[in-house]
Structure 1
Amino acid sequence: MRQNPSFAMTDIVELRRIIAEHPWVTLVSDTPDGLVASHYAVLLDEGADDLTIVGHVGKPDDLIHGLGERELLVVVQGPHGYISPGWYPPGPNVPTWNFVSVHLAGVPEILSTEENLAVLELLVARFESAMPGPRLMWEPPNDEDFVRRLERGTVGFRLRPTRVTAKRKLSQNRPDEVVDTIIAQLEDGAGPYADPRLPGEMRRAHDALRQARSAQAEKGEATR
């Protein structure tokens, strides 16, 4: 992903939030047979306060990716959407696409059987807990034999990224009034591109910009 300093995300708290809120990721490996991509859910490692993630793949995806033997790229896709030139002031303009994306790269560590079981349990709990009657991994009618057979069909991994590229392209290069108009259009339930997640991210980004500008202005006044 080509980086632009104006759109770079570096705040680890924000990066962790994006990963936690968008756990369905794309795994990409460069193998002797060419590029391979798979799609799985991941979690932030509870034992780390950085961007370490844990997850699993189903066999034989571990062999197809060469899991644990070569670099793995994990693509986390946050909110994104089309931005119409009709939402800008009159004049020459073209459409664009706003988005938030995080790329994590490194050689993953293969988990032990018990570690993998713990990750599988956490994954089930993470998503099942929202259900009115959660079916957790170890609860009946699942028994230990069933769960352990399930585990043997998977390979767990932990990725401590050695390279991180994160981009938040959310109209930061536009005036405040234009950004407010775009947000209003995206929040309009009647519009074909309405999506409350994207304007929510835009608000976060632009609130941070406004605070930074205000702090800079106050600093400038103080030095006069």
Structure 2
Amino acid sequence: MKQINLFIKRLFDFLGSLIGVIILSPILLIISITIKISSKGPVFFKQKRLGKNGKVFNIFKFRTMVIGAEKKGNGIFVKTEDDNRITTIGKFLRAASLDELPQLLNVIKGDMSLVGPRPPLLYHPYEYGNYSSVQKERFKMKPGITGLAQVKVRNSVPWDKRIILDVEYVDNFSICLDFKIILSTIKSILFKESIYTN
């Protein structure tokens, strides 16, 4: 049954992302142009992340911060929307979660899924080899644009607590659960729940 669910999941991921890119292409173009003319730097932000079974891949996002932001201020951490490294258009994109849209390309490529544990950095919160055997369960499925931890706690709790929810998702995966998470994600975006750490 799980293999059938995984097949349906991949089919839905591919078709849903492809259709999404086509339908959203005018919005993607407008965002790209706005980013390009409003601040120096590339339209897209590319960063190495850990995927399924610890495989490293490049995640794509719309750039919302100034160039070299990771080497300034709080480094990889963005704690408030007033962080002066965030560009003017970046604040809007983050608030509306539009900066995540390029990850549809990651889903089409097969590096990611629409729903799954969020892909962590290679070195934060841990290097792959330093996750416990239980925590590594989260890597048994492809990372997602959204996930159980995203809709339940987002960035309001430490990574260790988010990982517990990631493992819970992997253990209880079903297509039905994926649809519930997608609906909850839409709700959280509409009501603009906090995306920043405490």
TM-score, normalised via structure 2 length? 0.23
Per residue, is there more strand in 1 or in 2? Answer: 1
Per residue, is there more helix in 1 or in 2? Answer: 2
TM-score, normalised via structure 1 length? 0.21
